[in-house]
Amino acid sequence: MPSEHEILETIENVGLGPDILSFGLYSRLDLCQERELMEQVLELRCAFLRKHRETLSRFIEYFEENEFLDYCSMATNLVFGFPVSGKPTEEALAEKPELVKILKKLGLLMPMVVLGRHIVAETIELTKQVESDEFFLKSSPLFDKELPYYEELLKKYSGIGTIKQKDLWSFVILAFRYNPHKHPMVVLPSTFKEYVVRSRREFRKFIESHWPDEFQFIHPSKYLSYCTIFRNIIFGTVKSEYSGAEEAIKDAVIELIKEEGAEESLISKGLEFHVGTKGDRLSGGQKQKVAIARTLLKEPRILIMDEATASLDNASQLKIQQLLTQKFKGKRTVLSVVHRLETVKDYDQILVMKAGKIVERGSFDELMKKKGIFYELYQGHTV
Amino acid sequence: MSFTRDIQSEKLLEEFKSQCHIDQNVRILREVEAFAVVPINKLRVLATLFSRKKFVRNSFLFRQHDKDPHGYIIIEGIVQIYRHYTDKSYMLQELTPHDFFGGLALFADIKRLFSAKAATDVTCLVIDRETFHRFTLNFPEVATRVLETMIKRVVALEDKLLDMQIVECRYE
**Per-residue pLDDT tens over the stretch A121-145:** 989 888 887 765 677 888 899 998 9
CB pair distance less than 8 Å for B54 and A243: yes
Q: Report whether pLDDT(A116) > 70.
A: yes
- Residue A163 half-sphere exposure, CB side, CA atoms within 13 Å? 24
Q: Give per-residue pLDDT as tens, A48-66.
A: 999 999 999 999 999 999 9
Contacts of A52 (CB under 8 A, 6+ apart): A252, A256
- Whether A300 shows a pLDDT value over 50: the answer reads yes
Residue A304 predicted with pLDDT over 60: yes
Interior/surface letters A259-286, b for 16+ CB within 10 angstroms, e for the rest: eeebbebbbebbeebeeeeeeeebeebb
Distance (Å, whole) CA A297 – CA A299: 6
Contacting residues for A14 by C-beta, under 8 A, at least 6 apart:
A289, A292, A293, A296, A319, A320, A323
pLDDT at A383 over 50: no
Mutate to test the interface with B, among A61, A70, A99, A114 (most CBs of B within 10 A): A114
The amino acid occupying position A286 is: Q
**What would the mean pLDDT of A9-24 be, rounded to a whole number?**
91
Q: Are B60 and B115 in contact (CB under 8 A)?
A: yes
Backbone angles phi, psi at A300, to 5 degrees: -70, 160
Q: Which of A336, A339, A344 is nearest to A364 (CA)?
A: A344
Task: Give the pairing type, strands B79-84 and B51-55.
Answer: unpaired
Report pLDDT for B8.
64
- At A362 the pLDDT is 92
Mean pLDDT, residues B132-146 taken together: 83
Choose the closest CB to A109 out of B3, B51, B53: B3
pLDDT at position B171 over 60: no
What pLDDT, on a 0 to 100 scale, did the predictor assign at position A234?
A: 97
Asked if residue B15 lies in contact with residue A188, where contact means CB atoms within 8 angstroms, the answer is no
User: Which of A153-157, A232-236, B18-22 has the weakest average pLDDT?
Assistant: B18-22
A186 contact residues in B (CB cutoff 8 A) = 16, 20
* Rounded-to-integer distance, Cα B133 and Cα B46, Å: 11
User: Pick from A114, A122, A121: which is nearest to A139 by CA?
Assistant: A122
Parallel, antiparallel, or unpaired for β B60-62 and B51-55?
unpaired
Phi-psi map region of B126: left, alpha, beta (phi>0 left; psi -120 to 50 alpha): beta
**pLDDT for B4:** 45
Task: Check whether B5 has a pLDDT greater than 50.
Answer: no
Residue B31 Cα, gap to closest chain A Cα (Å): 20
Q: Are A312 and A342 in contact (CB under 8 A)?
A: no
Best interface-test mutation with A: which of B2, B10, B12 has the largest number of A CBs within 10 A?
B12
**Residue B30 contacts residue B138 (beta carbons within 8 Å):** no
State how far the Cα of B62 lies from the Cα of B82, in Å rounded to an integer: 10
The torsion region of residue A27 among left (phi > 0), alpha (psi -120 to 50) and beta comes to: beta
The CATH number of residue B107's host domain is: 2.60.120.10
The CA distances from residue A270 to A41, A265, A282, A285, B140, in Å, are 14, 9, 13, 17, 46
Identify which of B51, B172, B12 has the alpha carbon closest to the alpha carbon of residue A190.
Answer: B12
User: Does CATH place domain A277-378 in 3.40.50.300?
Assistant: yes
Our measurement of the distance from residue B40's CA atom to the centroid of its chain's CA atoms, rounded to an integer in Å, reads 18
Interface contact flag, A161 B48, Cβ < 8 Å: no
Range of the structural domain that residue B141 is part of: 52-171
Calculate the alpha carbon distances from A153 to A94, A103, A112, A267, B69 in Å.
18, 21, 16, 51, 39
Q: What is the mean pLDDT of residues A159-173?
A: 85
Tell me, what's the pLDDT at B135? 86
Mean pLDDT of chain A: 90
Residue B55: the pLDDT is 95
The total of other beta-carbon atoms located within 10 Å of residue B12's CB is: 19
pTM for this structure? 0.83
In the prediction, which pLDDT does A341 show?
84
On whether residue B94 sits in a domain, the answer given is yes
B167 belongs to a structural domain: yes
Q: In which band, very low, low, confident or very high, does the pLDDT at A382 lie, cut at 50, 70 and 90? A: very low
Question: How far is it, in rounded angstroms, from Cα B45 to Cα A337?
Answer: 53
Nearest in space to A65 (alpha carbons), one of A77, A53, A52, A82: A77
- Rounded average pLDDT over B36-57: 87
Q: How many domains does chain B have?
A: 1
Three-class SS of residue B42?
helix
pLDDT at A257 > cutoff 70: yes
Q: Which residues contact B59 (CB under 8 A, 6 or more apart)?
A: A243, A244, B117, B118
Least confidently predicted of A171-175, A199-203, A307-311, B57-61: A307-311
Please check whether residue B106 lies inside any domain of the structure. yes
Q: Which band of pLDDT confidence, cut at 50, 70 and 90, is reported for residue B3? A: very low
Check whether B19 has a pLDDT greater than 70. no
Q: Average per-residue pLDDT in chain B?
A: 83
More confident residue, B86 or A248: A248
The Cα–Cα gap between B106 and B154 comes to: 14
Q: How far apart are the first and last CA of chain B?
A: 85
Task: Name the residue facing A185 among B20, B41, B61 (closest C-beta).
Answer: B20
The stretch B141-159 carries a mean pLDDT of 79
Quickly state the pLDDT bin for B1 (edges 50, 70, 90): very low
Q: A239 and A247 in contact (C-beta within 8 Å)?
A: no
To 10 degrees, the CA torsion angle through A109, A112, A116, A119?
160
Task: Give the pLDDT mean for B79-103.
Answer: 90
The reply to whether B32 falls in a domain is no
Task: Quick: pLDDT tens for A330-347.
Answer: 888 999 998 888 888 889
Q: Do B117 and B58 form a contact (C-beta atoms < 8 A)? A: yes
Would you call A110 and B12 a contact, using CB atoms and an 8 Å cutoff?
yes
Percentage of chain A lying above the pLDDT 90 cut: 61
Inter-chain residue contact B5 with A184, CB threshold 8 Å? no
> What whole-number distance in Å separates Cα of residue A317 and Cα of residue A319?
5
Q: Taking residues A292-300, what's their average pLDDT?
A: 88
Q: Do A122 and B20 touch (CB under 8 A)?
A: yes
Tell me what ipTM this predicted complex has. Answer: 0.77
| pLDDT class of A318 with cuts at 50, 70, 90 | confident
Answer for the pair A90, A73: CB distance below 8 angstroms, yes or no.
yes
Q: Tell me how far CA of residue A29 lies from CA of A173, A185, A354, in angstroms.
A: 29, 35, 54
How much is the average pLDDT of A273-294? Answer: 90
Spatial distance between the Cα atoms of B126 and B128, rounded to a whole number of angstroms: 7
pLDDT tens for each residue of A191-240: 899 999 999 999 999 999 999 999 999 999 999 999 999 999 999 999 99
> Strands, E, within chain B: which ranges?
3-4, 51-55, 60-62, 70-76, 79-84, 89-95, 100-101, 115-118, 122-128
**Which residue ranges make up each domain of chain A?**
4-63+223-270, 74-217, 277-378
Question: Is B34 contained in some domain?
Answer: no
Across the interface, whether the CB atoms of A164 and B13 are under 8 A apart is answered: no
